[in-house]
Structure 1
């Protein structure tokens, strides 16, 4: 699988000294590891923001299902 080249920006980070030493001893690519961790953190933050932004709609949908039941429930096989 070929990855797209994206522009990179040099960044300074403050990291736990012991963790940094251990990562280096195992040959961990710090830039790749930091980017992977940051991608995960952003993904989780976006998911939480979406839940907050849509909480009222989700609550309304759940309330409707509680009152009315699932629209196609009679066709469920489980």
Structure 2
């Protein structure tokens, strides 16, 4: 079994409004518009989640960075590089 087969999900038909010239060009080039749209949406979701995580954890990250600035890295004396 391939990794892609293990992660397949149920597909749902969806209507999208796309630039007609772009769609025409994609079809001429043999681009799978559905898969390309899905890849773009997946990337947008990933970026949104990353941004949201950074926003949700901003205070913890600031606190950790402040600690390191004031006290140095914990266990830094054990680093040999």
Question: In 2, distance between residues paired with 1:53 and 1:28?
Answer: 37
Question: In 2, distance between residues paired with 1:18 and 1:71?
Answer: 57
Give 1:3 shift. Answer: 1.4
The question of 1:35 aligning with 2:22 is answered no
Matches within 5 A, 1:38-57: 38-57=41-60
Equivalenced residues, count:
78
What is the CA RMSD across the aligned residues, in angstroms? 1.3
Aligned residue number for residue 19 of structure 1: 22
Flag structure 1 segments of 5+ consecutive residues without an equivalent.
none
Q: Which moved more, 1:7-16 or 1:63-72?
A: 7-16
CA displacement, residues 21-78 of structure 1 (integer Å, 9 cap, x when unaligned): 1110111111111111111110110000000000000000000000000012223233
Q: Secondary structure at the match of 2:35?
A: helix
The match for 1:71 among 70, 74, 81 is 74
Taking structure 1 as the reference length, what is the TM-score of the superposition?
Answer: 0.89
Flag structure 2 segments of 5+ consecutive residues without an equivalent.
none
